[in-house]
Amino acid sequence: MASTAVFAHGTLLKMHDGTSTYTTVLEVTDISGPNLSIDAVEVTSHDSASKFREFIAGLRDAGEVSFSVNWQPAATTHGNTSGLLYVAKNGLTRLWQLIFSDSGTTTYEFYAFITDFSPSAPIDDKLSADITLKLTGLPTYE
């Protein structure tokens, strides 16, 4: 049987400007996440007949999204006046969309703030930055 894998190229990360529109973050090279998790709450009691620990599902955590960019400090979506660096230094929570490359049919929408912005300027390579978003609240998945 032939694989039905989906080629990741073309996946988009968009940031809402806080007022009216989404803008695609330029030059994104790698995206990971969100890494959803659920706390395991132990409910073992002296009445637990099996003598095995028992658990129930607890609070859910929407996790993080991390991504890398070919950093362009003067670019609108990267820079200090309205882009990633601006959002990071001001601790702003924004609405984000992650639109996967499967013809745009799978979209994650979530609120998040930047917890890490790490630019890099190696002597023999391009300017880049690694960014981590911490999701807050309930994301939507379409």
CATH of the domain at 49: 4.10.410.40
Amino acid at 36: L
3-state helix, strand, coil in the chain (%, to 5): 5, 45, 50
Q: Is residue 4 assigned to a domain?
A: no
Q: Is residue 1 assigned to a domain?
A: no
CB-facing half-sphere around the CA of 2: CA atoms within 13 A = 2
Tokens at residue 85, please?
Answer: 């660096």
Contacts of residue 122, Cβ cutoff 8 Å, sequence gap at least 6: none
Number of Cβ within a 10 Å radius of residue 110: 22
> What integer best gives the mean pLDDT of the chain?
93
Q: What is the pLDDT of residues 33-44, one digit of tens each?
A: 999 999 999 999
pLDDT score of 105 more than 90: no
Distances (CA, A) of 131 to 2, 4, 19, 47, 91: 36, 30, 22, 48, 13
Q: Is residue 99 assigned to a domain?
A: yes
What is the structure's pLDDT at 99?
A: 93
Q: Is residue 19 assigned to a domain?
A: yes
pLDDT above 90 coverage of the chain, percent: 77
> pLDDT category, 52, cuts 50, 70, 90?
very high
Rounded Cα distance between 115 and 85, Å, is 11
The residue-averaged pLDDT of 82-95 equals 94
> pLDDT category, 80, cuts 50, 70, 90?
confident
Pairing of strands 128-141, 64-69: antiparallel
From 133, 9, 129, 132, select the one nearest 70 (Cα to Cα). Answer: 129
The reported pTM is 0.88
Q: Is residue 3 assigned to a domain?
A: no
Instruction: Report residue 34: phi and psi, to 5°.
Output: -75, 150
Q: How many domains does the chain have?
A: 1
Domain range holding 116?
A: 12-141
Q: Is residue 136 assigned to a domain?
A: yes
**For residues 20 and 133, which has the higher predicted lDDT (pLDDT)?**
133
From 66, 75, 141, select the one nearest 110 (Cα to Cα). Answer: 141
What is the structure's pLDDT at 38?
A: 97
Q: Is residue 85 assigned to a domain?
A: yes
Contact between 16 and 105 (Cβ < 8 Å) = no
Q: Is residue 6 assigned to a domain?
A: no
